[in-house]
Amino acid sequence: MLKIAVLISGAGSNLQAIMDAVARGEIDGRIAGVLSNRADAYGLERAKAQGIATAVITHGDFAERAAFDQALIRQIDAWDVDVVVLAGFMRILTAAFVGHYEGRLLNIHPSLLPRYKGLHTHRRALEAGDLEHGCSVHYVTAELDGGPVIAQATIPVLPHDTEASLAARVHESEHRLYPQVLAWLADGSLQYDAGRPRFRGQPLATPLQLPPSR
């Protein structure tokens, strides 16, 4: 079964969605540890409530990003995981970290990549007048939010949406998308081959699309 490390910085609602999917038997895997760069991340409580190992490595304790990332690697490698899942993890990772986990490092990003890399994605989608928005799960490379996209979930932008209402619906879509991608990884449907995702043996030309919830 797939051994998973989850990296968080905050609420951990994606972590919760993944834990729930594991508990329901939808992912043939287990979460070996949850790591946060913030001691007050609520996701740590969610993990402890399930008896999952947690670790806090505070980025401010390190003078250099490289040293912080080496500390992350030491902890994650001690858990001996198959995949490292960024779930609302808010620190940009060095090329050395990304290279160490090449092909085993995933992120969920709250936009339809390649649109809106970086931060404040909901505000930017509203300001652009987009009619559709959503989330993407991608393999992480050294290029921020630029690694190959595995799958996306699209939602409509509604006429009276605010940043908050749009963010709430993107979150719901994230909670469907991330567990699905991990289920595909765990059952062997999804593989990484020389920098490119493969799905059921075929190189992915375009990202997989999750069907709407209703």
Question: Where along the sequence are the contacts to ligand GAR (CB under 6 A)?
Answer: 8, 10-14, 43, 87-88, 90, 108-110, 171, 174
**Residue 192 binding result from ligand GAR, ligand NHR, none, given CB thresholds of 5 to 8 Å by partner type:** none
Strand residues in 88-144 grouped as ranges (E): 105-109, 132-139
Q: Does 133 bind ligand NHR (CB under 6 A)?
A: no
CB of 200 vs ligand NHR, minimal distance in Å? 25
Measure the CA–CA gap between 85 and 202, rounded to whole angstroms. Answer: 23
Sheet architecture: strand order including 202-203 = 190-193, 196-199, 202-203
Taking CB under 6 A as the rule, does residue 86 contact ligand NHR? Answer: yes
Phi-psi category of residue 43: left, alpha or beta, with phi > 0 → left and psi -120 to 50 → alpha: alpha
Residue 179: name its binding partner from ligand NHR, ligand GAR, none (Cβ under 5 to 8 Å by kind).
none
Which stretch, 11-19, 91-99, 155-163, 190-198, contacts ligand NHR (CB under 6 A)? 91-99
Residue 114 touches ligand NHR, criterion: CB under 6 A: no
Q: Which of 109, 122, 133, 138 is catalytic?
A: 109
Alpha-carbon distance of 204 to 190, in angstroms, equals: 10
Taking CB under 6 A as the criterion, the residue among 14, 107, 152, 180 binding ligand NHR is 107
Residue of 85, 37, 39 whose CA lies nearest to 57:
37
Q: What is the DSSP letter of 160?
A: T
Number of residues that bind ligand NHR (CB under 6 A): 16
Q: Which of 140, 150, 41, 34 is nearest to 94 (CA)?
A: 140
Examine the residue annotation and report whether 109 is marked as an active-site residue of this protein. Answer: yes
Q: Residues of 171-190 as b/e, b for ≥16 C-beta within 10 angstroms?
A: bebbbbbbbbbbbbbbeeeb
Q: Residue 196 Cβ, how far from ligand NHR at the closest point, in Å?
A: 16
Q: Which residues belong to the active site?
A: 109
Q: Site residues (CB under 6 A) for ligand NHR?
A: 86, 89-93, 98, 107, 109, 118-119, 140, 142, 144-145, 147
